[in-house]
Structures are given as structure tokens and as C-alpha cells.
Amino acid sequence: MSVAAIVPAAGRGERLGLGLPKALAVVGGLSLVARAVDGLVAGGVDTVVVVAPPGGEDAMRRALGDRDVTVVAGADDRVGSVSAGLDALPADADVVLVHDAARCLCPPEVVRAVVGAVRAGHRAVIPATPVADTLKRTGPAGQILATVDRSDLAAVQTPQGFEPATLRAAHGRARARRDAGEPVAATDDAGLAEDLGVTVVTVPGDPRAFKVTTPLDLAMAEALVTAGPA
Ligand SMILES: Nc1ccn([C@@H]2O[C@H](COP(=O)(O)OP(=O)(O)OP(=O)(O)O)[C@@H](O)[C@H]2O)c(=O)n1
Ligand SMILES: C[C@](O)(CO)[C@H](O)COP(=O)(O)O
């Protein structure tokens, strides 16, 4: 039995605007991808596969220093990148996590909670937090069409955890649909599992598992690292 993790880190980081892949951005002297890997290992992950932008594998290895990880080339979108990581997983894993490099400050307790829930028999597990803002549906001119009831909505994070055959089947179906020219709309791996009819369950997420997307997020990550453990 072992826990394996795929870390999709092949995004361009356009919204961050540093002119380099986001996973290579540095917070407190360490790259986002190195921090993400360290958090997974602290949470009990045995094997990590990092997915780099195609052609950017060497830069990714340098950003990871002496960490014992496998680096593979990713794809144009996140689903394709995770799929590439799946092909490099060890056969003996009983839990597979998918964790965004961009969620570099996710606490190890969240990792442990996700792994524990998969080992308790759930095929797909995601960390979720309540939605804080009021949500509105908007029209083409930006006008408000409706207020959305947020009482049963959740914002979901990573790591998302899966029984390995479930994640493979979910990505297999996504690949088949793409090959048939059908769009794959899911923005996370749990969405692909939902498409298979799998019940996805939640564990409590954590605000520190926020996704570094914009310069403000990077500044927030820097401030949190400087402040030390909360
Ligand atoms: N083709 C892609 C796109 C995204 N990701 C990864 O998926 C995670 C979430 O993606 P996002 O935050 O949207 O990152 P970017 O795609 O880099 O952001 P942007 O849209 O601003 O370019 C990130 O860790 C990112 O590296 C990936 O591995 N392969
Ligand atoms: C997987 C994810 O982080 C869950 O919230 C999110 O869907 C990634 O979205 P992105 O558009 O690829 O940043």
C-alpha cells in the first residue's frame, strides 16, 4: 500500500504574469512546486509525479532541487497534464492524489484527511470550503439575472484523492470523448469522476490551500510564509 500524487505544474501562469510557468514562481525562497511537493510528503505521500510544461522538464527539476520526484511532460490543458502524470504512477499505490502546484501552502492535515477518506472506502474525495460571497448569475451585458442560493454550494480545492482505478477510468473516458471530438467541460478531476457516476465526498478544506492565480495571491502566500505557521 502506498500513496502516490500527481502534481500538475504545466500551466503557463498567464494571470500571474511573471513570464514564467507559475509553478516556478518563488515564495520565501522556494518555488511553488517545491512547496507543494513538501506539503504532500509531510502529509504522508510516498511517490510524487510532477507534470512540467513540455520542454520545461529540466527547469522543473532544478526548481525541485534534490527532492525525489519523477518529472514528466504535460499538455495544453490541465486534464491532459493529469493524464500524462497518470501514466507514470507506480502500480502499487492504493490512493492517488491530484494536487495543483499552485496550491502550494496546503496544510499536511488536509492531505491526511483526503487519504484517510479514500482508505475508508470512498472512491473520490475532495476538500471543500463554504462559499463566502453572495453569488449572482449574470447575462451577456453583465446584468444580474438571478441570485444563486449558496447554501448548498462549496468551493473545492486540491489535493483530490481517488481509488486509482476510478481516476484511471475517469481519465480514460475523458480521453475517449476527446478522441471522438466531444468537449470535456470538467475543470477538476472529481468532475471527471462525477461524469462516470461515481459519488464524490468532501472533507473540510482549508483557506491556506488557496490557489495562487494572481499577483495578489502571490503576495498573500509570501506574507503567510513570512508570518510563519498559523
Ligand atoms: N496545461 C496545464 C494547465 C494547468 N496546469 C496546472 O493546473 C494547476 C491549476 O491551473 P491554473 O491555476 O489555472 O494555472 P495556469 O494554467 O498556470 O494559470 P493561467 O490560466 O493564469 O495561465 C496549476 O498547478 C497548473 O500548473 C497544468 O498542469 N497543465
Ligand atoms: C482543480 C481546481 O483547483 C479545483 O478548484 C480548479 O478547478 C483548477 O482550475 P483552473 O482553471 O485550472 O485553475
- Report pLDDT digits (tens) over 49-104: 999 999 999 999 999 999 999 999 999 999 999 999 999 999 999 999 999 999 99
* Residue 136 predicted with pLDDT over 90: yes
pTM over 0.90: yes
Give the separation between CA 101 and CA 64, rounded to whole angstroms: 12
Q: Model confidence over 69-83: pLDDT tens digits? A: 999 999 999 999 999
pLDDT grade for 28, boundaries at 50, 70 and 90: very high
54 Cβ contact partners less than 8 Å away, ≥ 6 residues apart? 10, 73, 74, 75
Give the separation between CA 45 and CA 40, rounded to whole angstroms: 6
* Residue 230 predicted with pLDDT over 80: no
Nearest CA to ligand 2 atom 10: 187
Give the separation between CA 77 and CA 46, rounded to whole angstroms: 26
Q: Could you count the other beta carbons within 10 Å of the beta carbon of residue 215? A: 13
CA of 170 to the centre of ligand 2 (A): 17
Contact 225, 139 (CB under 8 A): no
pLDDT the model gives residue 19: 94
Give, for ligand 2, the residue of 78, 110, 160 to mutate: max count of ligand atoms closer than 8 Å to Cβ.
Answer: 78
3 state DSSP class of 181: coil
Percent of the chain predicted with pLDDT > 70? 100
CA of 9 to the centre of ligand 1 (A): 6
pLDDT grade for 44, boundaries at 50, 70 and 90: very high
ipTM: 0.95
Task: Provide the strand spans (E) within the chain.
Answer: 2-8, 26-27, 30-31, 47-52, 70-73, 93-98, 124-130, 135-138, 144-148, 154-156, 160-162, 200-204
The domain spans of the chain are: 2-227
Nearest to 170 by CA among 187, 199, 191: 191
Q: State residue 191 phi and psi, 5-degree precision.
A: -60, -35
Nearest to 27 by CA among 158, 210, 219: 219
Average pLDDT, the chain: 97
Contact 1, 33 (CB under 8 A): no
Is 3.80.30.20 the CATH classification of the domain at 2-227?
Answer: no
CA of 57 to the centre of ligand 2 (A): 22
Q: Which residues line ligand 2 (CB under 6 A)?
A: 78, 100, 156-158, 187-188, 211
